[in-house]
Structure 1
Amino acid sequence: MQFSSLEGEHRYADLVRVADRTIVGLDFDGTLAPIVDDPTKAHIHPDAADALTELAPQVAAIAVITGRPARQALDLGGLEELGDAIQAAGKELHLYGQYGNERWTSSHRRIVSPRPPRGLATFERDLPRTLRLAGASDAYVEDKGLAVAVHTRRLPDPQDAFERLLPPLRDLAGRHGMVIEPGRNVIEVRSPGAHKGMVVEKLAAELGALGFLFAGDDLGDLEAFEAVVELEKQGLAALRVCSASEEQSALLPLSDVVVKGPAGVVDFLRRLRLDILQGSEPG
């Protein structure tokens, strides 16, 4: 792992000192699971579950905060089994799906979810024409139940298609009372209001946290990073970890720690556990 600055090292050390009252929050795609062409096959890193299970007894709680539907994250991440292991350690795994619209915990095994937004059905009705006019009819459209994601990764020039689609999808979403969430060769359309930053604030308040760590990789994690900054202003120990890639660099200037993808996240979690157990500062 690499600290972005001396301040980042100090924030890490502060977090280690209040680890037992710290929430460890993580994005899913690009952070716990690699980005793949088929989003239905984005399984969690093979060592991530063990790293989180080992870390859980040292912190207040583990939270996975994702734009994916909660059911998908549970299945692709093996999170129900991970929740069993964390629960056995006397701690809890929290899962927030669809940017906080869905919630599941290892102690209450039911996904709590609202109804689909009113504008979603009419947006989906108009979407094929918008894709056709943008020359992207073959884009993969993922129906998430509460949102729609348009993936350009499978197209001949994914980045060019992404840039062509961004303006018309933003306009179409606005006409139906929806908002867009750009990502790594994906544009998600969902209802306004919920975002990962709100989850960070809610969890910190509910659990009486003294520290909050959030690891993410993409623009969809920006609000979570900003919420962590606000928590620091309120006196909490706060750390922002970027799971870096060649595709996306928006979070780099905002990060305290930079690692290389999900494998780097796993290594970071193991390093954090050792430093907590040793009560040591980074050296």
Structure 2
Amino acid sequence: MTDIDKALDKVLDKAIDDVLADVLYEALTNWKEHPEKSGIFSDLDGTLSKIAPTPAEAIVTPEMRKVLQDINKKYAVVGIVSGRDSTEARRMVALENLVYIGNHGLEWLEDGKQFYVPEAFNFFGLAGNLASELSDIFNATGYFVERKKLGVAVHYRQVEDKEQAKARIEEVLKPMLAKYPLKQAEGRYVIELKPDLPVNKGDAVTVIALRAGIERAMYLGDDVTDIDAFQALRQLRDEGRLQTVSIAIASDESAPAVMQEADYVVQSVDAAEALLRWMSSIPRVR
């Protein structure tokens, strides 16, 4: 391919992206024109924050924080939906008066108060023992064991041979899954043990959206655990209970299923910020 061909392809790709963006923005006009009856829910890592080598290094930029702050002043409900603990999500975003849903829907912070799915109380104390045991096993360079309130996650993003790392983690977790009432969940170079309860991000978003009495809800996400939220919104739409839209944030690491299950796709965290900036009535930069 010549340099001219590459340049033409780049122009064509941008033109396609612009057309798709215009379709998405048009679809969200009702959200923007009626914020008092609309809700915005979003995953955190990989959606509002760029993926970092370890969870502790991830940040929400001041620019993104300002956009979220402006949105929260206009929309009926704004929810951050994360696999992190809700308290950790709040620390990272550093804004009050948002709903912070943590541990994939098992617990949340609202109006400064902590809430849990009732069955989750049975799992308190288990995470600490598991995190200690796994930290002793995965103490090599590249692994990171994240302790949560209700579970534990083993990150292997920095391990050179990721396929081998994943296989090793799964082998170690196998007897733990047999011994404890836990289930395994996978994300972008992370494998997690969490309570074996029939609750997910979609359940949490559904409950909060319906309770808020809104007419429309949108959800942004980038990972396989966000598919539950995409599917939940689609069901609410099919049932005629809410107008909904789901938006996937693409990356080189994105699982194809995430793109397939979403109504629309944007190409980066920066594109997600631009969309939210437009939703907050700040002039869109093209």
TM-score (norm 2): 0.78
**Does the C-alpha gap of structure 1 residues 158 and 200 become closer, same or farther in structure 2, counting only changes over 3 Å?**
same
RMSD: 3.1
Aligned position for 2:275: 268
- 2:166 corresponds to 1:162: yes
- 2:251 corresponds to 1:245: yes
- 2:127 corresponds to 1:115: no
Aligned-partner residue type, residue 64 of structure 2: A
Max Rg structure: 2
- 2:57 corresponds to 1:75: no
SS in 1 for 2:115: coil
Aligned position for 1:214: 219
Aligned position for 2:5: none
Report how far residue 262 of structure 1 moved: 2.3
SS in 2 for 1:268: helix
- 2:39 corresponds to 1:35: no
SS in 1 for 2:248: strand
CA contact (8 A) 1:244 1:252 kept: yes
User: 5+ unaligned residues in a row in structure 1: which ranges?
Assistant: 84-91, 279-283
SS in 1 for 2:68: helix
Report how far residue 8 of structure 1 moved: 5.7
User: 5+ unaligned residues in a row in structure 2: which ranges?
Assistant: 1-16
Aligned position for 1:86: none
Which structure has more relative contact order (CA 8 Å, sep 6+)? It is 1
Identity %: 25
Aligned pairs (5 A) from 1:1-283: 11-16=27-32, 18-78=34-94, 82-83=95-96, 92-105=97-110, 108-113=111-116, 115=121, 117=123, 120=126, 124=130, 128=134, 138=140, 139-166=143-170, 169=173, 172-191=176-195, 192-235=197-240, 236-249=242-255, 250-274=257-281
Q: Deviations over 1:56-111 (max 9, x none)?
A: 33321111111111221122221xxx22xxxxxxxx41111112222212xx3233
| CA distance, structure 2, for counterparts of residue 261 and residue 128 of structure 1 | 33
Report how far residue 253 of structure 1 moved: 1.3
Report how far residue 217 of structure 1 moved: 0.7
